A and B are shown apart, each in its own frame.
Chain A
Amino acid sequence: MHIQELILRLQRFWADRGCLIGQPYDIEKGAGTMNPLTFFGALGKKPWNVAYVEPSRRPADGRYGENPFRVYKHLQFQVILKPSPAKVQDLYIESLSALGIDLTKHDLRFEEDNWESPTLGAWGVGWQVVLDGMEISQFTYFQQVGGLDCRPVSAELTYGIERICMFLGGYDNIFDLTWGEVKTDDGVFPVTYRQVRHREEFELSAYSFEHADLNLHRKLFDDFEKEGWHLLKDYGHFRSAYEQALKMSHTFNVLDARGAVSTTERPGVIKRVRDLASGCARAYLEHEEPETTKDPIKKQEVAK
């Protein structure tokens, strides 16, 4: 199956089941959860179903396009269902059928895998979904986001798009996948993942491991932090401040891929990102649901 076909099917499937179809958020990030559609959507009481593709950058996973399985950037398909429906597992399984996976012929397991994002102050419990021995999705019931309890609880489903495509097609190399087909007056031209992404993988790997200016990134990290708190404190602007937290997070990942953050420094650096993200979460709730959220937030603050 083409990459784009898989995306289209998932979008159709979840739109038909009452999800908004969102778009990737245009700032580098390590995981689809960081998209404000999830980060803020999972907070507060309002019902919220949304599905979208998110390119996820993991500088440490860069392999210069030489490794057939591991890449600097991959695509996640992310679904948020708030509150989590009683039949959420069944819904997920149906979505696999929509991808053409005949489950009467495969082995499916839900194995414990609890998710935590220290930079977002978020955690949940759930599973990795394993099909014939391969992890194809991550399934999480959010318990906290931005250090705040999720009430109600959202279910988050994350599909690894390339992996599922490779698995379905039996590909041994991610770059052999087809993205889609281009039809012109001259004929039909299949376009591979290699054509679309290989050079990008090579250059971004080289950037992460060799060319990124570490001093610049250290400075950027500090500056984004300053900017974020300025926006949040002086204007109460949680959306623009959150963008700064995202940039801090990516900057940290670049530094980390170079081994430029020592193990002792690490927790402290992560905490700086988390503090800003949590501040944004709090400000969001105060803004969106002032009447219902004041008390629990205060209570949590006192508890700390």
Chain B
Amino acid sequence: MSETRTFLLELHCEEIPARFLKPLTFELAEKLENFCREQKLEKSELDHHCSPRKLSWTLTSLSTQQPDQSETQVGPPQKMCLDAAGQPTQTGLKFAEKWGVDFSAVRFEQPAGKKEPCAVVGVTKKGRPTIELLAEALPKLIAALHVPKAMRWGNSEFEFVRPIRNVLCLFGNEVVDFTVDGVRSSNTTWGHRLHHMQNPNAIVIKQPEDYEAALEKAGVVVSFEQRRRRMEMQLHELAQGVDGHVVMDEELLSTLAEIVEFPMIVRGGFPADFLDLPEEVLITSLKEHQKSFCIRNDQGLLPYFLAAANRPIEPGSEAEKLVAGGNEWVLKARLYDARFFFAEDRKTMLELRQDKLNSLTFQRDLGTYREKSIRIRDIADAVARKIDPGMIDDLREAAMVCKCDLRTLMVGEFPELQGIMGGEYLRLEGKTNIWLAVKEHYHPSSSDDGLPSTPMGSALALADKLDTLVGCFAVGIIPSGSKDPLALRRAGQGVVRILWEQGWSIDVMELASIAFRVVGPKATKSETDTMAALESFFRDRVAHQLEQAGYAGPVRRSALSIGWSDLVDLKARCEALSAFAEDPRFESLAQSTKRIGNILKDEALDQSFDTSVLQQAEEKSLAEHLAAMESAPDHASLLAFLAELAQPLEAFFTAVMVKCDDPALRAARLSLLHRLHLAFLRVADFSQWQ
């Protein structure tokens, strides 16, 4: 292979929003891959990095020269190129001239897709130097990046995520020369702002291999993973320094690694009396306002926090004092606010906020949160009657106050504390019967979130989600494609998971229909339409649940197709089927059931049959098995019988001719198979097993 070098491109911008760093980096990486493939350029690896002001890509061992490519050029038909005497015509000569060859090099062949032989020459397309191809392509690739929230700046019409201030582009030690929005590429770049306070000049990168080390020296760690790793280590160390451990938040850690060029964690403290605030308030306030972590030990939170700084800081330096002190100052202001909200909120009992829910709209057509609370109460009431009538009174009480915290100052400030604050305030009011249910009633809020920890909490959550779902469907808000602004799919999944995991044997559609009656007066769509839409919606959610639970495709399909209204029953069938599918006898049984299906097709079927008509030993044996199966108390024992059935069925099909001439016997045999088939359908539709 020809000579290779390393390629490096860095776009140095003003601070790029954290959420766009990775998508942009990945997108250009993909474009570079495509570029190499299209231009037939060999390379070994593509690497990329991102930090707040830098996006960079390297291609290692990229060939310096595009290979020559031989191509066949097809010209006019033979009869136009040669005259009757076989001499070249003007057309023929022109074709040879066009490709710079003597006419003797022109061949006549019939290329694919042509009806007659044509003039053909083989030409060699000279490969171009890679550096030229790069210089041509890069401005276009960069301009074609998809930027969700693009901006313009200065006088220019160019659009990008934030202004591009420098372009570093090297191929080996040569600059790939091009311009992006007036910025010309070079072999220089800029380090951390702090570095340039002492060193006003740009940093020269002689070759791509020097890039990371040169920037590290200039205060920028270009690798996201490295920044994240270093911060994670510092978090643990600093937490240990006060005999605690960090309250880890992976999402926050990643965000921090995206907003600093140099990773540095500092520890600060806050006055211990703020520890009177509920833990969730402290953790949320620190995270949301200050992007900081809490520290805890076995007793609870400690009066310390861990914040990120975007620069190296020597231990014991003045900078450490100032940075930690500044963060402490701000945090104190925030916690002061939180304490103010907490104290103000506690002056009024939570339940007294019910009236204020009258002026808080839940959804235009579905009315206020007050109306929603009443609906939750009525739905919860019906749910409780089915699972545990003993909880009815508490559940009704909980429903009426579960949304009241939306009117507290704390939830106004931290919407993500909804539910949690309501629960906390109720606990402090001594409402031991309902506080936990209210606190947890927004769960599960995602696929990896757990259910409320108590049955009452689950029942309340179920009623709330049913009201939202059925209410929205009843006024025509139905998720479609990527459009699901009210997160109804998540609510639907919550309903399914609560029934599934709590083991409540209640028909989902019956619940939906109860909820529809409660929503009733608000509905703008007919009950028939709403229930039909909900049915297909819930079927998808249930299918998704089966997938999440890890059942194999055939198990899911065959179990689901005979019904899903009782999720507990569905779960039991899936469990039994999954176990049964492992059984060696299963394969033969699956074959036989398909055969039964084929035989029964197009037959008028009757369930009653007279065993005395049966003649052969094989069919009599089968009838005995059927009797046992029909009396099976549950799915597992039914499936156990099914397993036993594999051999007799096989024997039956070998020995017995079902469609015999004797009409009585034939009818009896068909009925026997039909009843077997019905028994199978209690667990699964095996025709869906593939």
Contacts and interface: CB of A to CB of B under 8 A. Distances in A.
Interface in B1-38: 14-15, 17-19
Interface in A254-290: 259, 262-264
A68 B152 CA distance: 39
**Interface SS majority for chain A:** loop
7 contacts: A103-B193, A133-B331, A141-B153, A150-B152, A172-B332, A259-B359, A263-B361
B155 interface: yes
Nearest to B362: A263
Interface stretch (A23-31, A104-112, A201-209, A232-240): A104-112
Interface stretch (A51-59, A81-89, A176-184): A81-89
B322 A105 contact: yes
Given A69-B337, A263-B361, A152 B155 contact: yes
Interface residues of B, number: 46
Contacts of A131: 326
Interface in B151-195: 151-155, 162-163, 165, 193-194
Nearest to A266: B361
A68 B260 CA distance: 31
Given A127-B15, A131-B326, 14 more contacts: A67-B340, A69-B337, A83-B154, A83-B155, A103-B193, A103-B194, A107-B309, A107-B319, A107-B326, A132-B330, A151-B152, A152-B155, A263-B360, A264-B364
B153 A84 contact: yes
Interface string A133-145: 1100000010100
B152 A153 contact: yes
B580 to A, nearest CB: 54
Contact of A93 (B152, B154, B193, B310): B193
Interface string B213-247: 00000000000000000000000000000000000
Nearest to B340: A67
B689 interface: no
B323 A110 contact: no
A114 interface: yes
Interface of A: 67-70, 83-86, 89, 93, 103-112, 114, 124-125, 127, 131-134, 141, 143, 150-153, 155, 167, 170, 172, 259, 262-264
Contacts of B52: 110
Contacts of A263: 360-361
A104 B319 CA distance: 8
Interface string B337-367: 1001000000000000000000111001000
B326 A132 contact: yes
Contact of B152 (A110, A143, A262): A143
Max chain B Cβ within 10 angstroms of own Cβ: one of A103, A105, A167:
A105
B151 A167 contact: no
Nearest to A131: B326
Given A70-B337, A108-B310, A153-B154, A133 B327 contact: yes
B259 interface: yes
Given A69-B336, A134-B326, A107 B155 contact: no
B409 to A, nearest CB: 11
A134 B153 CA distance: 26
A114 B337 contact: no
A39 to B, nearest CB: 19
B524 interface: no
A271 B82 CA distance: 77
Given A133-B330, A263-B361, A110 B155 contact: no
Given A70-B337, A263-B360, A132 B15 contact: no
A104 B198 CA distance: 9
Max chain B Cβ within 10 angstroms of own Cβ: one of A67, A104, A110:
A110
B17 to A, nearest CB: 3
Contacts of A151: 152
A86 B361 contact: no
A104 B194 contact: yes
Contacts of B323: 106-107, 132-133
Nearest to A93: B193
B333 A111 contact: no
B45 to A, nearest CB: 31
Given A68-B336, A141-B151, A106 B319 contact: yes
B327 A132 contact: yes
A103 B194 CA distance: 8
B322 A106 contact: yes
B193 A108 contact: yes
B310 A109 contact: yes
B307 interface: yes
Contacts of B322: 105-106, 132
Given A107-B310, A111-B259, A259-B359, A133 B151 contact: no
Q: Which 6 A-B pairs rank lowest in CB-CB distance, beginning with the nearest?
A: A132-B326, A112-B17, A133-B327, A110-B15, A107-B309, A134-B330
Contacts of B151: 124-125, 141, 143, 153
Contacts of B333: 68-69
Contacts of B326: 106-107, 131-134, 167
